[in-house]
Structure 1
Amino acid sequence: MQWKFSEEQEAYREALRGWLGDVAGSEQVRGWLGVDGGTPDPGPFEQRLVADGMAGVGIDEELGGQGGGPVELAITAEELARAAAPGSAWLATVLAVPALAGRADLATAALEGGHAALVVAAESQPDGPTTVVVDDAGRLSGAVPRVLGADRAALLVVPATGPHGLGLYAIAAAADGVALTPHRLLDRSRSVADVRLDGVAGELLDVDPGAVLAHVADLAGVLVAADALGAMERMLELAVEYSGQRHQFGVPIGSFQAVKHAAATILVDVEAGRSGVYYAAASVAGGDAERALHAAAVKAQVGAAAGRAADDALTMHGAIGYTWEHDLHLYFKRARLDEQLFGAAAAWNERIADRLALV
């Protein structure tokens, strides 16, 4: 099956890719990520994304977005990865917004540059168990390691259990009792922070926490797969370009059968991944009964394919691919993080098995 965008979606993809080409070239991205020895600072890109109206695409207008849904969000994720652009603040915010359905003011503030983060460990599925507890007075305590984008967020959305079961709570990242410990990742285009809460007053959000977290898990699976797809596509482009430039035995290495086969394998994975990702995105958007299976399948399969593509692209580049001077390492590291972000392939395959009526 080959996925086809609507005219509006294709126009958005072209506009976003052109915009990223203008504002997020290799030199700018390297500066934001601190690759060439500077201090990492994704702030300028995050501000530009908001100011130029891209950050709210895929979010309901009632929540301060530009309209659209999971398909448009997947387009954004893919294109951000193709540019190796900083992605933590954007992804963390769009995953936190569904919990703010009854608080348009908070959602709008997050989308307009305040940013938000769902307080779950970056290596865990968003609807997994929580380690945060809430007491009778609505005060939250607990610690969650490695929360994606928590260092970029003004608002934290925290799943917590208490006397009345599971709830989702909104707290200010700067509130008394909140401690954030940022960590630098090998993939400099994303960041995480440990979140520790010590008796922090939280606002219980008027949503069904189980339904919201299940939706966010599906959305996370689709968007991380879309990110892996974008990184994989760019690695293929770089590898094909380099294989036409590098010569051995007097001919381009791209003429060697082994190199051709490696490139063809990546291309097959890219095309299959694109159809799967956007089918899953449309399934989540439409509330399909099997949307959780579709999201889990693309997270597991596209993430694993991107990991294989990273290895093959590195092999095709040879020694230059190991250097920080070449851009390949930006995509290699991004693809490797996507394999583990919000759960490795094995965890998502288990999710599929749990939902299939095998017996």
Structure 2
Amino acid sequence: MSDLLYAEEEEALRSAVRALLADRCDPASVIARTEAAEPHDRELWKTLADGMGLAGLLVPEELGGQGASHREAAVVLEELGRAVAPVPYLTSAVVATEALLACEGDAARELLGALASGRTVGVLALPLSCAPGQEAFDVREEGGALRGRVSGVADAGAADVFLVPTASGLFAVDATDRGVTVEAQTSLDPTRALAAVSFDGARARELAPHAERAVTRGLRAGAGLLASEQLGLAEWCLTETVRHTKERHQFNRPVGSFQALKHRLAQLWVEVVNTRAAARHAADVLARGGDDPAVAAALAQAYAAPVAVRAAEEALQLHGGIGMTWEHPVHLYLKRAKADSIAYGTAGRHREELAALVDLQTP
């Protein structure tokens, strides 16, 4: 049986990432970023990816990466979730990277090295809501050129290259190609921007003759490790709410001393602890490649997504009037939790998949 506790190296990685985010991604900075024209923090991404080498954690050393595992990537995502950091780590360093790892050939290997360096951001051209096994390819390939449109693509505005699945295979397209148009769309979560990407004769490089295997691998890793981001988000909400209820006084007593609030926070603590177990299990299974990664990812999302939403809702309510203000960051966590709850499949979709995978018949 695997040890799901954090190793010493993982705790050291956590400390380094948390210290950087505390200095460069404090709540006031994130709120200011959501009001800026550029939603992505490119300087923070450069430090995380180039300075700390985190973009290449899942890439083997011989291809220019760190040769680490999904467990380390999960720790990074926990901290990014705690800070609702506006960087394309999940989409580029996890989903796009995992899709490329399922491809063979020099084109995929070269692109993996570019993504591992962090100087290139790769995005899988599918809607953020697309679940593993639910792929619908809306782009077609015609003589080496792509045509079609995909809506709801996360971090498309930060992408340098798009990985585009079609019925003819998986292709890479430079975001600067004249045939590519990226149109920003309104997103509930301002820290993870969405866009519609149109391809009108865009020149494409083939990465794999069949896209299904690569896309499924990328989305499954995304769903499994998204649970770690949701864990970090829920932990922040719980920690900050407990701190606030200790400091906020009513009737000459801390509001956290009221029994009703104690019960709500205790129940939330139990749910967060269980989320940690599910998220760590998913990361460990993905790292080892054993057991069934589909079961682990579906289980993690089925549990983590509702808990993250509940934690953010409780944080907003128990912060009282201040929690409803734009200046307080709790609204960012609620929006991220809500957006994450449909990312890579809803909890209901994952429960249905889990039931089918373990042959659990409905009543």
* TM-score normalised by length of structure 1: 0.91
Shift of 1:56: 2.4
Aligned residues: 351
User: For 1:12 and 1:60, how far apart are their aligned partners in 2?
Assistant: 18
Residue in 1 aligned with 2:14? 13
The alpha carbon displacement at 1:185 in A equals: 2.1
User: For residues 358 and 31 of structure 1, do their structure 2 counterparts lie closer, same or farther at Cα, with a shift above 3 Å needed?
Assistant: closer
Residue of structure 1 in register with 2:96 after alignment: 96
Match of 1:139 in 2: 145
Deviation at 1:311, TM superposition (A): 1.6
2:112 pairs, out of 94, 107, 115, with 107
Q: Which runs of 4+ in 1 moved over 6 A?
A: none
- 1:113-152 matches, within 5 Å, as 113-127=119-133, 128-135=135-142, 137-152=143-158
Other-structure match for 1:60: 60
The CA deviation at 1:18 is: 2.1
Secondary structure of the corresponding residue to residue 158 of structure 1: strand
Cα distance in 2 for residues equivalent to 1:126 and 1:196: 22
Deviations, residues 89-131 of structure 1 (Å, cap 9, x unaligned): 2211121123334423222223322201001111111542211
**Structure-2 change in CA distance of 1:169 and 1:39 (3 Å):** closer
Q: Which residue is 1:4 aligned to?
A: 5
User: RMSD of the TM alignment (CA)?
Assistant: 2.0
In the other structure, the counterpart of 2:29 is: 28
* Alpha-carbon distance between aligned partners in 1 of 2:59 and 2:253, rounded to the nearest angstrom: 50
Is 1:253 the equivalent of 2:260? no
Partner in structure 2 of residue 244 of structure 1: 246
1:153 to 149, 154, 159: 159
Distance 1:6 1:41, change over 3 A: closer
Tell me what 1:44 maps to.
43
Bigger shift: 6-15 or 257-266? 6-15
Check the 8 A contact 1:307/1:335 in 2, yes or no: yes
Q: Residue 338 of structure 2 aligns with which residue? A: 336
Shift of 1:41: 4.7
Unpaired stretches in structure 2, ≥5 consecutive residues: none
1:321 counterpart = 2:320: no
Is the contact made by 1:99 and 1:205 (CA closer than 8 Å) also made in structure 2?
no
Q: % of aligned pairs identical?
A: 34
Q: Could you tell me how far 1:217 is from its partner in structure 2? A: 2.2
Distance 2:113 2:32 in 1: 29
Mapped partners of 1:350, 1:129: distance in 2: 19
Question: For residue 133 of structure 1, what is the amino acid of its counterpart?
Answer: R
What letter matches 1:255 in structure 2? S
| 1:182-221 aligned within 5 A | 182-206=184-208, 209-221=211-223
SS of residue in 1 equivalent to 2:17? helix
CA contact (8 A) 1:178 1:197 kept: yes
Matching residue's letter, 1:147:
V
The SS at the match of 2:55 is coil
1:77 aligns with 2:77: yes
Q: Distance in 2 between matches of 1:349 and 1:172?
A: 36
Q: How many Å apart are 1:172 and its aligned residue? A: 0.6
Measure how far apart 1:44 and its partner are: 2.0
Rounded to whole Å, the distance in 1 between the matches of 2:325 and 2:90 is: 28
Q: CA deviation at 1:243?
A: 0.4
